[in-house]
Amino acid sequence: MTETTDALVLDLVEWIGREPRLYSEVIETWRTSCPRLTIWEDAVDRGYVARQPVAGQGVRVAITENGAKFLREHGRAA
């Protein structure tokens, strides 16, 4: 992964860490048409975020323990 990609994954995890987000909001905000920027997929593959079904709301995205650790390791609060 490149430095740019790592920084963007960190930004995504931090953004989700502020409050769980609806999946539709995450995808709308973080979508990209560039196949080289797979920020969402990288965050999921690395276990930093996870989807959770919520009755009446759809699917919510929240950071995992690994995501919180990733933020702490980079000087950002979880």
19-50 pLDDT tens trace: 989 999 998 888 776 666 788 889 999 999 99
User: Which of the four pLDDT bands, split at 50, 70 and 90, describes residue 55?
Assistant: very high
Place of tokens 């994954």: 9
Give the pLDDT of residue 28.
86
User: Which of the four pLDDT bands, split at 50, 70 and 90, describes residue 1?
Assistant: very low
Can you say whether residue 6 is alpha, beta or left, with left for phi > 0 and alpha for psi between -120 and 50 degrees? alpha
Give the pLDDT of residue 44.
94
Give the pLDDT of residue 51.
95
Spell out the domains of the chain, with CATH numbers in brackets: 3-73 (1.10.10.10)
Query: What are 49-55's contacts with CB under 8 Å, separation 24+?
Result: 49/12, 49/13, 49/16, 51/23, 52/20
Task: Using a cut of 0.95, tell me whether the model's pTM lies above it.
Answer: no
